[in-house]
Amino acid sequence: MTEAATLVRKTVLSTHAAPPRHWVGDGFPVHGMFGYSGAGVAERSPFLILDYAAPTEFTPTSQRRGVGSHPHKGFETVTIVYEGEVEHRDSTGAGGVIRQGDVQWMTAGGGIVHEEFHSRDYATKGGPFEMVQLWVNLPARDKETPAHYQGITDAQIPVAVLPGGRVRVIAGGVAEVRGPARTFTSMNVLDVRIGAGQTMELPQPEGWTTLVVVLAGSVRINGSETVGAAQMATLSTAGEGLTLQAAEASKVLVLSGEPINEPVAAYGPFVMNTREELVQAVDDFNSGRFGRLH
C-alpha cells in the first residue's frame, strides 16, 4: 500500500462556479471566485479574496489600462500572471513589470498606496491576458508590519516533477522543493499542471485550509467531486490526502494554509480585526500615513 493510500483524505465541503465577470478598473475583467464576507470565510482562512481574470484578448492601445492609485492595509496581495504583463508602482518606491509566469507578492501591512496597469509594451502590442490576484490575510501581530514588495520571476520559481504532472512552487513546499515567497503564516501556493488522464497525489497538512481552483481542464478531487474550468472546491481542514484526477490536460491553482483563527473586519481595501481598527485605517490613509506615489 502506498503512503498516499494510507492518508485520511480531505473531504470536499463545497464547490461553485465562477460568478459573472466584473471590471476592476479598465484593465482587469475578473470573476470574483470568493470574498472576505458572507458564507465560508472561516473555511478559507488565511485566504480572503480571489479574483480570476480568465483568458481575454486585448487590442493594441496607447491608453493606460488598469487601476490607478489606491490604498491597502492589513493583508497581502499575490498576483500571478499566466499571460500578458502587469506593471506595478507603490509608495515604498518599489515597482516593476511582471510577465508570463511571474508573481508579485505585495505586503500592504501597516499601509501602502499602489497602482497596477498593463505594461506599456503589452498595451501597445495587445494580445492574450490571464491572471489571478489573491488576497492573503495577516495575523493581528503583523497587521502593522512595514509595507514591502517581492517581485518573483518565472525563473525563480522551482518546479516539482511528480507522477501525473508538474507543480510550480510559488510558496511553501512540495516534496523537497521549496517556493521563494516569504510568508507570515505557513501556506502553499501551487501552480499545478496535470496531464490528460493522469492522477496526481498532492498531500496537504492536517488542519490546513485547502482550496482547489481549476483554471483550465477538469479534475476529480479525492474520487468524489469533479470540478471544471473556472470552478473551485473548498476542502475540509481535517485530513491530509489530496488526489487530483484529470480528465483532460488541466491547469489548477492549489491554495492551502494554516488558518488564522481571528476575527476579520473588512472594509474595501482594508482588512483588520475590529471595527475600531478599520476606522483608524481609514484615518491613517486620509492623513497621508500610507505615503504616496512619486
What local confidence, expressed as pLDDT, does residue 5 receive?
57
Q: Rounded CA gap, 259 and 46, in Å?
A: 5
What local confidence, expressed as pLDDT, does residue 1 receive?
39
Q: Do the beta carbons of residue 214 and residue 250 sit within 8 Å?
A: yes
Q: Rounded CA gap, 33 and 225, in Å?
A: 18
The letter for the amino acid at 153 is T
Rounded to two decimals, what is the model's pTM? 0.96
Q: Rounded CA gap, 72 and 282, in Å?
A: 10
Q: CA 99, 88, 171: angle at the middle one, nearest 5?
A: 60
Strand order in the sheet with 47-58: 22-24, 28-34, 47-58, 127-137, 75-83, 103-107, 148-152
What local confidence, expressed as pLDDT, does residue 39 receive?
84
Give pLDDT tens digits for 80-112. Answer: 999 999 999 999 999 999 999 999 999 999 999
Low-confidence spans in the chain with pLDDT less than 70:
1-5
What local confidence, expressed as pLDDT, does residue 4 receive?
54
Compute the half-sphere exposure of residue 59: CA atoms within 13 Å on the CB side of its CA: 0
